Amino acid sequence: MADEYEVISIDELQRVRDTGGLEKYYRHRIRTKGGVVLTVDIDPVDFTPEKTGPILSKAAKNADKIKSL
State residue 3's pLDDT score.
Answer: 83
- Predicted pLDDT at 2: 64
Amino acid 53: pLDDT: 95
CA distance from start to end of the chain: 22
What residues does 64 pair with on adjacent strands? none
> pLDDT tens digit string along 25-65?
999 999 999 999 999 999 999 999 999 999 999 999 999 99
Q: Cα–chain-centroid distance for residue 12?
A: 12
pTM above 0.85, yes or no: yes
Q: Quick one: pLDDT at residue 42?
A: 97
